[in-house]
Structure 1
């Protein structure tokens, strides 16, 4: 898999071996999402459910700093750490469940990307938890990648949908955090 744009465009990103559960974000989806986001210089970025770290690397490649990647699967984590060194400075990586990170984190991000497994049943609860957390400030963007069959509301607490992009059976919804 390759980084699609920015400073590190074309760099190869390793995938964890032998794990069929990892679902790398499609190239076209990544290109489209980052075209919408544009230049990320000056923005902080958090990639929850990071897997290989490709989304965090795409953000860093476009100027986001700091970039934090969260992945709970300890079998995938060494590959994430290795890929993190592509960026300068390297991505900051934590091995923990996304839900735990959201509860413990005290730093607000400008952009949070959620890419839970497609069979993850708690997408709405995850958005609700994120909305009430210190991980967001007013104006933060939250992007969630999910199967088209799933239904997520246009508004979750102070998170209001501002855009939705469909890629085959895959959807990315953009939420903006408004006033509480």
Structure 2
């Protein structure tokens, strides 16, 4: 995988061992293009895998970035990828290695952008979106984005979160929710 934009554009990110379905370069590049300038924005990368989305956010200007990944097999590679990025750009990426559900229930921070990329067989996407909405973890004017397979469906409204945009990339979809 490679970083598609910003200060680290073109840098290759190593994939960790274990099961991983990295976000396509085209999809990542499109999502970040839709969001525009990330200078100084906060970012939360859930189901982080290799940390690529978090690193892409830092490369494009985000200053407060956190990621969450529960697969212990991925810890070493994620920390290596993040460490290289932190040294190059001087931006700390907070790493949390636990279940996303637990992280969201404990999280006290609010973010400009939250990106969820759960495994395609994952059945609790709507539950996670409800937790984010109920706990008000996204800042006003920010977005919650979720990547999921086309055969699944998500509602246009989740409490006060409303679907603002929907992009299709092959057999996968990214929904953009905001208040």
TM bin, normalised by shorter chain, reads: over 0.9
Superposed, 1:1-180 pairs within 5 Å as 1-17=1-17, 19=18, 21-85=19-83, 86-87=85-86, 88-176=90-178, 178=179
Asked if the contact 2:7–2:60 (Cα under 8 Å) also holds between the matched residues in 1, the reply is: yes
Q: Give the Cα separation in 2 of the matches to 1:9 and 1:126.
A: 31
CA RMSD of aligned residues (A): 1.0
Give the secondary structure class of the aligned counterpart of 2:139: strand
- Give the Å deviation of 1:42: 1.7
SS at match of 2:72: coil
Give CA deviations for 1:19-56 in whole Å, capped at 9, x if unaligned: 2x210000000010011011100210000000100001
Deviation at 1:139, TM superposition (A): 2.5
Segments of structure 2 that go 5 or more residues without pairing to the other structure are none
- Spell out, residue by residue over 1:76-112, the C-alpha distance to the aligned partner (whole angstroms, 9 max, x if none): 0111111112142231111111111110011100100
Asked if structure 1 preserves the Cα contact closer than 8 Å seen for 2:64 and 2:92, the reply is no
Aligned partners of 1:74 and 1:95 also within 8 Å:
yes
Shift of 1:134: 4.5
**CA distance in structure 2 between the aligned counterparts of 1:167 and 1:138, rounded to whole angstroms:** 27
TM normalised by structure 1 equals 0.94
Deviant stretches of 4+, over 6 Å: none
SS in 2 for 1:7: helix
The answer on whether the counterparts of 1:51 and 1:77 sit within 8 Å (CA) in structure 2 is no
Contact kept, 8 Å, 1:107 with 1:134, in 2: the verdict is no
Query: In 2, Cα distance between the equivalents of 1:140 and 1:70?
Result: 19
Given the two structures, how large is their TM-score scaled by the length of structure 2?
Answer: 0.94
Pick the structure with more helix per residue: 2
